[in-house]
Structure 1
């Protein structure tokens, strides 16, 4: 029992957010199925079961267009904050640490510790790759989900055109349509706004006990410290 309790405590963030994600995804699927079936009934088509709806391009595009923007947010934030700073924000490094920092600061090579990851203590390509692995994975997830969104979106767009007795368009042509960029940019702008707002608000506002906030009593000009 103690082991289970310890596991739940040590992994609280991933477990709670993972469960909330699955619950929200399930709720989205139910709402999406209802809305899609209403559209089908309005044109005299047969309604889909829940399982059938999960395999549709409509569900896929609604999911992936949100995923790609989230991963874009993290990818951009990871790489941008290597060089960019924001005075007073806990989302920023200290002002004098802009850049990739020294091997000593990053605990790599000869400065690696006993508990450091193995690739942090070796040189060459492996260390260079591991040093950027988080950003690379976030970029690949963004690129993959953006591609999936474009494929599913092209299928939905083609279906809508067929209902209007128009020919569907190839995937490459769909990438140039207003429909694709409307879906894409409405998510990008919201994510960029959220990141920028958080960086600025955290200069002057506090959340006691959160690592995303400075200590309540920290000066507004204090940069790169967490509560």
Structure 2
């Protein structure tokens, strides 16, 4: 496979990977200067870039965004198994809720010759593979949430130390108002974004996008029903 074809065939993934890297680098640079500005304002010594990007403060900022994003997709993937929204290309058509039959899913005896191996084997491996997207999204969410909470308690205790307050435990932190204020700020924005995408896509179109129905399809018809 030529390099040009590889880029063309994976353009969507590569595009968002590039945006992710650029945004993360930009965040680290902006956060580095902001952090050192705050340290200087308090008469404290500034730190190097390497020390900043390995600090608990930077970990918290990154992890709290990651966990909200993966929670969003975890819930959306799980919800769309059973719940439908008539007319939305983000949903199956009404009446099709549920995991589907083995024939519909092309697993076990109904698998094709070129189906993934675990889809053809049956048993626990097919069960795991059939839920692998949800499992991985959920695992990344849990790990990101854990990283956020562990980094957050370190930052909180550093601030407490500067103000002469006692240190707190991880459990104290994860039930604190500070932790849930930061967490729920991200969650509510993600839920709003997904909900509006589902609703707006019933009535609005973007010609050529896989996330939109064809322009001339009626509002009440889903993309799957339009074929």
TM-score, length of structure 2 as denominator length: 0.97
- Provide the rounded CA distance (Å) in 1 between the counterparts of 2:97 and 2:222: 12
Rounded to whole Å, the distance in 2 between the matches of 1:224 and 1:82 is 16
Task: Say which SS state the counterpart of residue 189 (structure 1) adopts.
Answer: helix
The separation in 1 between residues aligned to 2:120 and 2:96, in whole angstroms, is 22
Where does 1:106-125 land on structure 2 (aligned, <5 Å)? 106-125=105-124
1:133 shift after superposition: 0.4
Q: Which structure 2 residues correspond to residues 21-100 of structure 1 after superposition, within 5 A?
A: 21-100=20-99
Give the equivalent residue in structure 2 for 1:4.
3
**Does the 8 Å contact 2:85/2:91 carry over to 1?**
yes
CA contact (8 A) 1:73 1:195 kept: yes
Q: Which residue of 2 aligns with 1:171?
A: 170
Query: In the alignment, which residue of structure 1 is the partner of 2:102?
Result: 103
**Given the two structures, how large is their TM-score scaled by the length of structure 1?**
0.97
- CA distances 1:105-124 after superposition (whole Å, capped 9, x unpaired): 11111111111101111221
> Per-residue deviation at 1:139?
0.1
The separation in 1 between residues aligned to 2:222 and 2:211, in whole angstroms, is: 12
What corresponds to 1:222 in structure 2? 221
Q: What does residue 142 of structure 1 align with?
A: 141
d(CA) in 2 for partners of 1:218, 1:50 = 53
Q: Any conservation in 1 of the 2:212–2:223 contact (CA below 8 Å)?
A: no
CA distance in 1, matches of 2:209, 2:121: 34
Report the secondary structure of 1:166's partner residue. coil
**Residues 9-53 of structure 1, C-alpha deviations (whole Å, 9 max, x = no match):** 011011111111000001000111111111111221111111111
Point out the more displaced range, 140-149 or 90-99.
90-99
Q: Distance in 2 between matches of 1:117 and 1:219?
A: 36
Q: Is the 8 A contact 1:72 1:138 kept in 2?
A: yes
How far apart in 1 are the matches of 2:25 and 2:148?
19
Unaligned stretches of 5+ residues in structure 2: none
Unaligned runs of 5+ in 1: none
Structure 1 distance, partners of 2:29, 2:90, is: 36
Match of residue 158 from structure 1:
157
1:202-224 Cα deviation digits (max 9, x unpaired): 00000111110000011101124
